A and B are shown apart, each in its own frame.
Chain A
Amino acid sequence: MKPAAFQYFDPQSVTDAVARLREHGGAAKVLAGGQSLLPLMNLRLVRPAVVVDINRIASLAYIRESHGTLTLGALTRLSAVEGSDVVRRHVPLLAEAAAHVGHLAIRHRGTIGGNLAHADPASEIPAALLALEGHVVATGPRGERTIAAADLFKGPLTTALDPAELLTEVRVPIDPPGSGSAFLEVSRREGDYALVGVAVLLQKDGGRCARARLGLCGVGGTALRMREAETILESAGVTDDALPAVALAVERAVAPSDDVQASADYRRHVAGVLTVRAVRKAWQRAQEGGR
């Protein structure tokens, strides 16, 4: 299984990369980690006429924290996200989600920007970004713009990025005091795509759940926020009484499909079950002082 031929560019700067994308429009595909794109190309399921390999743009790999925001360059490898002390300390949900992506060899090449731009509905990072209410920066011929996570994912493998735009940065707020987060997923085997994944970020204030954010993957055409379930948690708290309602709210909100690995019914049911488990875990961590 070998890829079809393509014209290849490996620009050394964002400006050059954008220029190539602009020149070739929809005929070009960005190659970052390649862990999602290359299988599709090897299988000849996609045959881009042009490949723009951005791996030479060294300036796109960084992890910085300042003024309450964690910024990651798009080319930051998922293994770096997983292992970064800065990420683990300030936004542990992102590190935990990253650790669930495939296996280490995949994470050594896969990038945070590439994962988000690919927008696989079963992918963990989009779910985490939704729960974190993060943003991405898209750089195109007309300059930079910021896209909120809620506006980024449009459909399966489809984002709000224009063909000539490159996703260059990811921004997430660092966890406020009293935070607890958890990422849980159910998959057929270790390292597989999630059948259902749940990213939870809670903020504890005294005994209340002051803020709840839930992002799910594997349960629709894109990763989804569970706003109704969040409202229940913020009003009723993380209690044995409230959690069944949370599960029901999740089951109502998701829109999964049947596939060869699991039915829609299964995914709907497990979405509720897993959300409850993830919420409990996040709450326990919030009580332990936030990890």
Chain B
Amino acid sequence: MATRRHGTEVREITVKVNGIVYQETVEPRRLLVDLLRDDLGLTGTHVGCEHGVCGACTVLLDGVSVRACLMLAVQANGAEVTTVEGLARDGKLHPLQEAFWEHHALQCGFCTPGMLLTAYELLQGNRTPGEDAIREAIAGNLCRCTGYQNIVRAVEKAGRA
């Protein structure tokens, strides 16, 4: 049932994020990344460009990586989303996060959530990617701090762990 807010119609959506079901009312134009960050308070997903290039907003939607800045929140109705907050369990870091920590794969941390989810997807499909495969997989996640080398190492080690 569409009702109005500040002059525009709104939609009700149901979305499961990190295992928890949320019901929200959103304008159709509201971006998925803004739903996650502002409406659900999950600020781990970051906004870097809003035109789909930098990858900082990468989340998993129904198990595959997507740019949350290039999806409307209404498009996630009925879907399952995983953000970086869904990686750790009860405060214990996921092995991929541990590997990033161990191998100094982050500096400012802004690209890190998107990088983690992209790496997570890669390792789901291939536990032993080589350097070239890792670099290709993360080529859609810009990092301005690390120069990528330690990220590659961390992903490789995490896969073999």
Direct interface between A and B, CB < 8 A = yes
By the criterion CB–CB under 8 Å, are A2 and B29 in contact? yes
Whole-angstrom distance between the Cβ of A83 and the nearest chain B Cβ: 10
Q: Which residues of chain B have C-beta atoms less than 8 A from A179's C-beta?
A: none
Question: Is the CB–CB distance between B52 and A104 below 8 Å?
Answer: no
Q: A91-122 CB contact bits vs B (8 Å, 1 = yes)?
A: 00000000000111110110000000000000
A261 within 8 A of B: no
Selected contact of A109 from candidates B29, B66, B137, CB within 8 Å: B66
Residue among B9, B11, B28, B58 with max Cβ neighbours from chain A (10 Å): B28
Q: Which partner residue on chain A sits nearest B71 by CB separation?
A: A34
Q: How far is the CA of A8 from the CA of B13 in the complex (A)?
A: 14
A3–B29 CB distance below 8 A? yes
Q: Are A191 and B28 in contact (CB under 8 A)?
A: no
CB proximity of A49 to chain B, nearest CB, Å: 12
Closest Cβ–Cβ distance, residue A181 to chain B (whole Å): 21
CA distance A100 to B12 in the complex (A): 37
- Counting CB contacts under 8 A, is A190 at the interface? yes
A58: interface (CB < 8 Å): no
Considering only residues 110-126 of chain B, those with a C-beta below 8 Å from chain A are 118, 121
- Tell me if B35 counts as interface (CB < 8 A to partner A): no
In the complex, the answer to whether B9 meets A8 with C-beta atoms within 8 Å is yes
B74 contacts which of A10, A41, A102 (Cβ < 8 Å)? A10
B69:A42 contact, CB within 8 angstroms: yes
Contact B140 A38 (CB under 8 A): no
Q: Could you mark each residue 42-72 of chain A with 1 if its beta carbon is under 8 Å from any beta carbon of chain B, else 0? A: 1100000001010100000000000000000
Q: Provide the residues of chain A in CB contact with B27, threshold 8 Å.
A: 5
Docked-complex contact A191 and B70, CB < 8 angstroms: no
| Contact sample, A vs B, 23 pairs, CB 8 Å cutoff | A1-B51, A2-B29, A2-B31, A2-B34, A2-B50, A6-B28, A7-B28, A10-B74, A31-B72, A34-B70, A38-B71, A39-B70, A41-B29, A42-B70, A79-B64, A104-B65, A104-B121, A105-B66, A106-B140, A108-B64, A108-B65, A109-B67, A191-B140
